Amino acid sequence: MNAEIIAVGSELLLGQIANTNAQFISKQLAEQGINVYYHTVVGDNPERLKNAIQVAKSRAQIIIFTGGLGPTKDDLTKETIANILNCPLKLDEEAMKQIEQFFARIKRNMSENNRKQALVLSGSTVLKNDNGMAPGMATTIDDIIYILLPGPPKEMQPMFTNYAIPYLRKELKLSEKIISRVLRFFGIGESQLETDIQDIIDKQTNPTIAPLAKEGEVTLRITAKHEDEDFALRAIQTVEEDILNRVGEFFYGYDDTSISQELMNRLKENDMTISSAESLTGGGFLQELTSISGASQVVKGGVVCYSNELKELFVNVSKETLETFGAVSEKCAKEMAENIRNQTNSDIGISFTGVAGPNSLEGQPVGKVFVGIATASSTNVHLLHLAGSRKGVRDRAIRYGMYYLLKMLES
């Protein structure tokens, strides 16, 4: 089955918001084995929407709409579809009751145009809106499935997962279980990872392997289809083991985790505390770590010491080190990591110093970065040569620091 997603809203065409709904729906459909060949975006114009629908009907068996179900005049999705399908709209009493209760709860008068939100296609399956007012709807006419969803992601996503997916599975008589597992890697490029496991990818049938590079890391989605869920899981496990035998040193976690979340988990498991001394990253390491719930259990604190003066004053980097080796040096990174650990009485001290750009510093090139990691027993300093923008260098330095910490804690 092929699906097309039509996002309705002039704000999408104007670039005021991104079309994240289509991304979410495509991902969900892929997990059901449904192909998405086209994403269409159309403004709040009935004629252009009609044209988009006619085109979609010629090439898709499932058409999913997002947006245009609200109370205002420019919310015209269901009216346009009702006209094209010759399917009248009717008031859904349950949806109307929910809308009235919402206004009563917030103690505001309901304007008459809000009744429009409770209109649904006659004969359609109403998709309950657990996080808003406008319900969604699904109907099958002339062997084409039409699904209408609200635009706000906080309303659309749970509606699609909880109600639209079960509707699709029932209509399409999908009996196979589709199980996916995402492996996350850092420190290896997408091309190198694919090269290292190319023969495994080439012989894939079921499970399938889908690589994706994103934000300095690489993921592999392994997907298996089978009526027996245990069989699918065993098949995934076999492929995973083959992959990790090749590139396991770069693997750090599963599914929707992040390298910062995994680091937080390992620090908690080991009952260890950490502090940072940051120059080029400007506090970014601690900012990312403390954005995670429970950070107070492991994070002691840190110092942003951008200037040499503050490296001496707050982190006790020796004047001799700065004059002889410079701030962008292994020696400076080592002292920063060791001294911040000692000053804060932490189990681990981490430091970042280097050149983010756009200009060189102390004769050192842009992208040269030192990451120091100090514990009670040893100190290691990692040299990086990073490419990209100033922000890119800083962000990658932070992630490399987290990756090195993870690997140290694992060993």
* pLDDT tens digit sequence for 240-252: 999 999 999 999 9
Look at residue 174 in the predicted model and tell me its pLDDT.
86
% residues pLDDT > 70 (the chain): 100
Q: Which CATH number fits domain 177-254: 3.40.30.10, 3.40.50.1260, 3.30.70.2860, 2.40.128.640?
A: 3.30.70.2860
Cβ neighbours of residue 205 closer than 8 Å, sequence gap 6 or more: none
Domains in the chain: boundaries:
2-171, 177-254, 259-410
377-396 pLDDT, tens digit per residue, is 999 999 999 999 999 999 99
Cβ neighbours of residue 349 closer than 8 Å, sequence gap 6 or more: 274, 275, 276, 277, 336, 337, 338, 339, 340, 341, 342, 372, 373, 374
11-66 pLDDT, tens digit per residue, is 999 999 999 999 999 989 988 889 999 999 999 999 999 999 999 999 999 999 99
Fold of 259-410: Maf protein (3.90.950)
% residues pLDDT > 90 (the chain): 86
Asked if domains 2-171 and 259-410 share a fold, the reply is no
CA distance 318 to 339: 11
Look at residue 31 in the predicted model and tell me its pLDDT.
81
CA distance 161 to 83: 28
Model confidence, pTM? 0.74
60-108 pLDDT, tens digit per residue, is 999 999 999 988 887 899 999 999 999 999 999 999 999 999 888 888 8
Average model confidence (pLDDT) for the chain? 94
User: If you classify domain 2-171 with CATH, what class do you get?
Assistant: alpha beta
